[in-house]
Structure 1
Amino acid sequence: MVEQMDLPKISYYNEISLMMFGFGDSHTPNPDTVRLVESIVLKQLRIIIHEASKYSDGKKLKGEELVFLLRHNKHKMRRFVRYLMNKQSKYIFQKINLYPADLNTKPLPKSDLMEFIEKIDETGEFTDLSEIDEVKHERQLRADRISQALNEKKYLEFCKARCASFNSRDTTHRSSEKLRLWIDPKGEIIKEYKQDALDILAYFAYQTVADITDYALLVRMDRKSCTSDPLKHLPGSYYTATMFNGEHQFTGSNPDYSKVHSSQPPISVSEIKEVMRRVHSPQAGLLNFGGKVPETHYLFAL
């Protein structure tokens, strides 16, 4: 009798290492930290799939079911809408040389996901992109400060890291298949994944790495700005204003993020664990009007 071969070990260690560098970590992230972040991302993606499967037939996961989970956070839904619009623009630019006449005579088609978002957008706030995305703007400011402190060689490496994602540059079936095998190697959660669902899961994974890196840098800043305030380290005192409510200060003094590359050590395992502790801990001063905090409140992508 032929023994069943084990599935090959799939890892996104290299991609996550590059992403963390691109989001503000050291040029050479701590290997143990990268592995911990990878395990957190994988666990959260699997939870997201379980949540989305509640709205599916349990056999095939579609993109709409994953997008539906974003309905409680208009800021993250808007960021996803911008992502869809950028994908559509890229597709159009690729077609300009092939079918230039069509672009002048036919209206630009909307993706199925964009049409679905417009259907569930009762108030129009999901597609209202007039507000600045403060989180993304903060990341861009950080990247700009870092890039100014790098030499030409390191700058090119930084640009490459900024392009890293959970989908390869040529988004092929192979890269999507790798993601599926990483998340659900034996099809135990969902039997079949549509291509748009895998694309969204790759997007969610990317945003999860970005948020974890953001918050780890906030943990580091919080420790360095320690004062004699006895309430400083209570959960909610600093992070209610920045980490959890998404309010980012633009008027105050901006930290020099470039030091992460030049003179500070890479993000440590303890800093990631502190992020997760604060995410899971009750927040001081949180007003939920007697309501129960949803079980998925700690999922970074949602």
Structure 2
Amino acid sequence: MDSQKTTFCNEISLMMFGFGDSHKPNPETVRLVESIVLKQLRMIVQEALKYSDGKNLKGKELVFLMRHNKHKMRRFFQYLKNKQLKQQLQSLNSGVIEIDRDPIPKNELMKFIEYIDETGEFTDLSEVDEVKQSRMLRADRISQALDEKRYLEFCKARATSFCSRDITARNSEKLRQWIDPKKEINFSTNAMVVLSYLGYQTVAEITDYALLVRMEGKCGSDPLNHLYGNYYTSTMFNGDYRIGASGNNPDYSRVYSGQPPISVNEIKEVMRRIHCPQAGKLNFGGKLPDTHYLFAL
């Protein structure tokens, strides 16, 4: 596979649509997001290799990088639990029931997270994940604006990721070729699972932030204009269409169809803010680490 032809533009375009962008994202914006995701994944790999022998990369090293953010670690742990539940359901649907059959053992990555979870906060799923909840609410609002055909397309976009539904030899090789075209690193299967997940979360956060940038641009000079729940519905549902607005039957279709695709400049503004944080960030005068802007971590 030629590295020059390895691209995830189609998948990223669908992912951005699934996260709240226009039905047809701007191709230039998609290419920019792809370059950002690729750069961040490669930097994550290099950071993780510091905890390995420098050539063989396992999933544990990648998971270890998330240890500073309990919310993202919890989200990943929930992701692993959902994968395990899916395996159990597939086993039940096979039609073969074994009375003495042992339950499916925990994933190796789940065991590792529990091992490094000294305080129990990584595996505590009782707290509401506000970021995930906001994305689900946004998706619900979008789905109300769609006809049946467009809704099916939206569902397909929501199910798109860097590894389809499961890691297979084919899509794993494409992702590996994209990240490491020179084949200098040996990736384990678990490493590819984690990288696929981190790439997906990177696209999600870039889209989230781009919609927030747009929202702020429409707030004008009113510093309190963003306090009406716009974060949960992005810029598509400002004004009469935001949560709690008057009206029993808001025209979500008109709001959705009127949203332009996320622009290149909006993505550039996101990256500018990430690389140049505003005054007041508590870094105590020290230099920010190179990984401070890695969205997935």
Please give the range of the TM-score, normalised by the shorter of the 2 chains: 0.7 to 0.9
- Picking from 162, 165, 170, the partner of 1:169 is 165
Name the TM-score, length of structure 1 as normaliser: 0.85
Residue-by-residue CA offset, 1:25-65 (whole Å, 9 max, x unaligned): 00000000000000000000000000000000012100000
Give the counterpart letter for 1:82 in structure 2: Q
Distance change in 2, residues 1:60/1:98 (3 Å):
farther
Give the counterpart letter for 1:15 in structure 2: E
Superposition pairs for residues 134-213 of structure 1, below 5 Å?
Answer: 134-169=130-165, 171-188=167-184, 190=185, 192-213=186-207
Give the counterpart letter for 2:178 in structure 1: W
Distance change in 2, residues 1:74/1:291 (3 Å):
farther
Residue-by-residue CA offset, 1:148-189 (whole Å, 9 max, x unaligned): 01111111111111011001235310000000001111123x
Name the TM-score, length of structure 2 as normaliser: 0.87
Give the counterpart letter for 1:100 in structure 2: I
Look up the match of 1:227.
Answer: 221
Note if 1:65 corresponds to 2:61.
yes
Q: Is this contact kept in 2: 1:260–1:266, CA < 8 A? A: no
Query: What runs of 5+ residues in structure 1 fail to find an aligned partner?
Result: 233-237, 242-247
Superposition pairs for residues 29-108 of structure 1, below 5 Å?
Answer: 29-96=25-92, 97=94, 99-101=96-98, 105-108=101-104
Q: Is this contact kept in 1: 2:70–2:121, CA < 8 A? A: yes
- Picking from 283, 290, 295, the partner of 1:295 is 290
Look up the match of 2:106.
Answer: 110
Query: What runs of 5+ residues in structure 2 fail to find an aligned partner?
Result: 243-251
Q: Is this contact kept in 1: 2:138–2:232, CA < 8 A? A: no
Identity within the alignment, %: 67
CA distance in 2, matches of 1:149, 1:249: 16
Note if 1:277 corresponds to 2:272.
yes
CA distance in 1, matches of 2:125, 2:222: 41
Distance change in 2, residues 1:7/1:128 (3 Å):
closer
What's the secondary structure of 2:290's corresponding residue?
coil
Give 1:295 shift: 2.1
- Picking from 211, 217, 221, the partner of 2:211 is 217
Give the counterpart letter for 1:226 in structure 2: G
CA distance in 2, matches of 1:170, 1:14: 18
Distance change in 2, residues 1:228/1:86 (3 Å):
closer
Distance change in 2, residues 1:7/1:149 (3 Å):
closer
Give the counterpart letter for 1:131 in structure 2: E
Distance change in 2, residues 1:260/1:114 (3 Å):
farther
Give the counterpart letter for 2:260 in structure 1: P
Give 1:6 shift: 5.8
Look up the match of 2:246.
Answer: none
Q: Is this contact kept in 2: 1:33–1:272, CA < 8 A? A: yes
Q: Is this contact kept in 2: 1:27–1:261, CA < 8 A? A: no
CA distance in 1, matches of 2:110, 2:142: 34
Note if 1:15 corresponds to 2:8.
no
Distance change in 2, residues 1:228/1:172 (3 Å):
closer
Distance change in 2, residues 1:123/1:263 (3 Å):
same
* Runs of 4 or more consecutive aligned structure 1 residues displaced over 4 Å after TM superposition: 5-8, 256-260, 289-292
Q: Is this contact kept in 1: 2:48–2:62, CA < 8 A? A: yes
